[in-house]
Structure 1
Amino acid sequence: MRRHDLVVIGGGTGNALIDDRFAHLDVAVVSQGPFGGTCLNAGCIPSKMLAATADVADAVRDAGRHDVDAALHQVRWSDVQRRVFGRLDADSRQSEQSRRDSSFVAVYRGTARFTGERRLRIDTADGPRDVEGERIVVAAGGRPTVPPVVAASGLPYDTSDSIMRIPQPPKHLAVLGGGYIAAELAHVFHAAGSRITIVEQRDSLLADQDEAVSAAFTHAVRDRYDLRLGRELTRLEGRPGGLRLVLDDGTAVLADTLLVAIGRQPNSDRLDLETAGVACTDDGHVSVDEQLRTSADGVWAIGDIVTGVPLKHVANREAEVVAHNLLHPDDPRTMSYDAVPSAVFTRPQIARIGLTEQAVRERGIDYDVAAHRYEDVAYGWALENTEGFCKVLADRTTGLILGAHLIGPQAAALIQPLVLAMASGMTAREAARRPMWIHPALTEVVENTLLELPER
């Protein structure tokens, strides 16, 4: 059994945790899938590169709004894929090779499971390898959830792991689920020419967003997609290329391709964590303390396997905390999830931080709320945008921002001043008055929303 000073399970954010500060240690990285993890290979980056392409296609289709005569000939899907994955696959290979060339890192390609306290068996192509780590970081990520009704059908389906690499856009794509993955990939394939039907159990799309944003997004896409809301899939039948989704109201959806996008689950069930004394929550996420230590001595965990917030920037911050704590155990840092921003790169784009209005009500917080529309600021006129808005909630007693929500162009960038305000403890009034806001930039929609909150 080979012994390492540090073993990291996961070639995504876990691999990124290791830098030259660890060169004095004997380090091992275990990765089942390609290096770069979900984000680089099947998540954040390829989906946003495809979403950016979809935005260009939609801009051409909508050119008449700006009195420009233009026609979209086609989205060259195979060329788009070569551009996107040619770059990302090369980055993944280079990331793995750089580790193999390292003087202090050993690479194990295969699946790992615990066989005891800080002991692992790794099933590699060359047979099983047993290793031991003085310290271990679990960063094994997650995977798409597939409901039994789909898995047991024996019929083909795609998830976010596979759909972006299909050889051509479907003629008719059925999407099971109405969350952020469903919204982003529906946007991509609609722009590429696919008909889209979305089947969602809840009564609106992106139902975890603020209620006003969820309602606005659902309204915005009704004319583009066939929405089957409040519906559940009861049976999947037909044949490859000719699928029939039977819903709980007796209706059916005929499609050539099915995308399952109902959520993701942690890979904790594949690691035999209980053998190592690593505790998990009821939903399978690894339990950690503020320093991201698990219940097992010498074992940390980061990334999608830890939180129900599967965001790369969250995992990156967790990696920073754990890297510091491994190197400086006498001066530990803690992880906070108090103000986590997120964005959905769909059409229209969406971004948020903090609490939704429904969550504020449920907590019984006394609050003020204000909203300002894109069409009421000068650059909103320039964009000819009539659907976007910014919404901010503030504590009525302290004036501190409780949550902020944007829907419309550049939402993912526009949320950042509100992220900074919340992170620095600025009141809504201070956030509006202390900085100078560029006129006529679209950031004025944020400024005006803050100014419309009562001064406390």
Structure 2
Amino acid sequence: MRTFDLIIIGSGSGNSILTEDYEGLDVAIVDGGTFGGTCLNVGCIPTKMYAYPATLARHAVEAGRLGVDAQLAGVDWRGMRDRIFGRIDAISHGGLEYRKSLPNVTVVEERVRFTGPRTLRTASGDELTARQVVVAAGSRPVLPEVPGIDLPQVHTSDTVMRLEELPRRVVVVGGGYIGAEFAHVFSSLGAKVTQVNRSHRILRYHDPEIAERFAREASRQWKLEMGWTLTGVEPAADGEAAVSATFCDPEDPEQTMRLPADVVLVATGRRPNTDVLDAAAGGLDVREDGLLAVDEQQRALSGGRPAEGVWALGDISSPYQLKHVANAEARTVQHNLLHPEDLRATDHRFVPSAVFTSPQIASVGMTQEEAEDWALEHGTEVTVKVQEYGATAYGWAMEDRTGLCKVIAEKGTGRLLGAHLIGEEASVLIQPLVQAMSFGLDAGSMARGQYWIHPALSEVVENALLGLEVPEHSPLDAAALAGRR
């Protein structure tokens, strides 16, 4: 059995733990997949490298209403793909070779499973153990168990970006952020897209007003079918398409729908890899949703108590499944491994997220419904303001008919509780609101305590804040307010 000071399972955010502070430790990085993890290889980065040109293509098609005679003359899918992965694959390979070159690091390019506390067995049968183990093994796409799911025309987000050609017809199964982003990419680049969702609400974890606005805009760009469940995929009989995807109404299974497609993208969620690791065999607690149980210090739990020498971060233990959260958790683990006498916790209070679809969506904090429930519980009131992009000067320049900024605050103090945007650069516009929430800046002070560039699009945030029924200036004790959450 090979013994190390530290074993890191996963080469995504877990890989970032190693700095010069770890040079004196004997370390193993274990990953049987592609080095660099989900974000680099099949997630955040390549999807946005597709989403940006897709947005340019969408703007070209819509420029006519601004008096610009633009058109989309064509799309070089293969050139786009090769540009994206020519860069990404080189980074992945370079990261792997760099880690292999370090004298204190052993890279194990195999799958592993727990066989006991801090003890692992590789796929080839080698036994590994360490004083400290970091579990950062990520997640994988969920596939429904239906006939034809293994056909070569059926893809997940892990594989669909490496297609040889832009498909003519794409069926996207799923109404979450992955489905919304890929529906935008394929539709804007010229494919005929049908997005199918099981429930009658798309983006169900977002504020209902945002989800409703997105459903309206999405249905103008691609076909949106709600209330259907995938029942199977089979080779198409007519030769016009590669396959045919069949759906039924979950409330009335006799009602069916058949859609021809060249590609079926299944985007029905991701599953933490706790089962692949056999985390239970390592004595670790696994939650009902499959996540590895951790405390605020990122210590993995065993029997409800911190397991000695085991830490976890990222998709395998976090419900957020966001790279910026995994990075924050990695920084916590990075510190705590070396400073057991001074453990730090990860701040998960105000986690923002964005959906790079058309139009863009961004969110942080409570939805309006959650805030109203919170206010009822705490005996206080909330105030809500919805500011349309089109009511600001830059919104006029854009002739915007889509975007909005929704802010939610506690009425008496101006404490920001949530913010939700849909529209151009929503992922950028939300950042000052995230900052205000994180550092305890109330809405009134934020709106009037600084200059807002006129006529920048950021005025939509300013005007939303000014529309709240809050004191003009109400300095808050951030620590005290955090305790109320």
Q: What TM-score range do you get, normalising by the shorter chain?
A: over 0.9
Q: Is the 8 A contact 1:11 1:36 kept in 2?
A: yes
Deviations 1:259-283 (A, max 9, x none): 0001111000011211211101101
Deviations 1:58-79 (A, max 9, x none): 1211221221112211110000
Deviates more, 1:69-78 or 1:88-97: 69-78
Aligned to 1:300: 311
Amino acid at match of 2:266: V
Aligned to 2:340: 329
Amino acid at match of 1:443: S
Deviates more, 1:135-144 or 1:356-365: 356-365
* Alignment of 1:157 onto 2:150: no
Please show how residues 37-436 of structure 1 align to structure 2 within 5 Å.
37-123=37-123, 127-149=124-146, 156-239=153-236, 241-248=242-249, 249-295=255-301, 296-365=307-376, 366-436=381-451
- Shift of residue 170 of structure 1? 1.5
Q: Percent identity?
A: 45
- Three-state SS of the structure 1 residue aligned to 2:465 is helix
Aligned to 1:449: 464
Distance 1:122 1:162 in 2: 25
Distance 1:455 1:311 in 2: 32
- Three-state SS of the structure 2 residue aligned to 1:335 is coil
Distance 1:293 1:244 in 2: 44
- Shift of residue 150 of structure 1? 5.3
- Three-state SS of the structure 1 residue aligned to 2:161 is helix
Distance 1:52 1:132 in 2: 44
- Shift of residue 41 of structure 1? 0.4
Deviations 1:213-242 (A, max 9, x none): 100000011122111112222333335812
- Three-state SS of the structure 1 residue aligned to 2:39 is helix
- Shift of residue 398 of structure 1? 2.6
**Aligned residue-pair number:** 453
Q: Is the 8 A contact 1:235 1:247 kept in 2?
A: no
* Alignment of 1:8 onto 2:14: no
Deviations 1:133-175 (A, max 9, x none): 1100000000011111256675741000001111112111111
Distance 1:162 1:169 in 2: 13
Q: Residues 320 and 143 (structure 1 numbering): CA distance in 2 closer, same or farther, change over 3 Å? A: same
- Shift of residue 364 of structure 1? 4.8
Amino acid at match of 2:366: L
Q: Is the 8 A contact 1:141 1:267 kept in 2?
A: yes
- Three-state SS of the structure 1 residue aligned to 2:110 is strand
Deviations 1:38-73 (A, max 9, x none): 100000000001000101111211221221112211
Amino acid at match of 1:373: E
Q: Is the 8 A contact 1:206 1:214 kept in 2?
A: yes
Distance 1:36 1:97 in 2: 12
- Shift of residue 361 of structure 1? 3.2
* Structure 2: gaps (5+ residues): 250-254, 302-306, 472-485
Distance 1:114 1:197 in 2: 42
Q: Is the 8 A contact 1:153 1:237 kept in 2?
A: no
Deviates more, 1:228-237 or 1:366-375: 228-237
Aligned to 2:475: none
- Shift of residue 201 of structure 1? 1.4
Amino acid at match of 1:195: K
Distance 1:344 1:245 in 2: 27
Deviations 1:236-263 (A, max 9, x none): 3335812232322322222121100011
Amino acid at match of 1:270: V
- Shift of residue 455 of structure 1? 2.1
Q: Is the 8 A contact 1:286 1:294 kept in 2?
A: yes
Amino acid at match of 1:112: V
Distance 1:221 1:356 in 2: 21
Distance 2:391 2:73 in 1: 34
Distance 1:116 1:412 in 2: 43
Q: Residues 152 and 377 (structure 1 numbering): CA distance in 2 closer, same or farther, change over 3 Å? A: closer
Distance 2:126 2:12 in 1: 21
Distance 2:19 2:125 in 1: 27
Deviates more, 1:426-435 or 1:284-293: 426-435
Distance 2:23 2:53 in 1: 40
Deviates more, 1:9-18 or 1:249-258: 249-258
Q: CA RMSD in A?
A: 1.4
Distance 2:40 2:147 in 1: 27
Aligned to 2:480: none
- Shift of residue 308 of structure 1? 1.4
Aligned to 2:252: none
Amino acid at match of 1:204: R
Distance 2:231 2:172 in 1: 14
Deviates more, 1:36-45 or 1:373-382: 373-382
- Shift of residue 128 of structure 1? 2.6
Distance 2:208 2:149 in 1: 35
Deviates more, 1:196-205 or 1:39-48: 196-205
Distance 1:243 1:361 in 2: 45
* Structure 1: gaps (5+ residues): none
Amino acid at match of 1:62: E
Distance 1:82 1:235 in 2: 32
Amino acid at match of 1:16: S
Deviations 1:319-360 (A, max 9, x none): 000000001111111012110001000110010100111222
Q: Is the 8 A contact 1:155 1:237 kept in 2?
A: no
Distance 1:152 1:47 in 2: 23
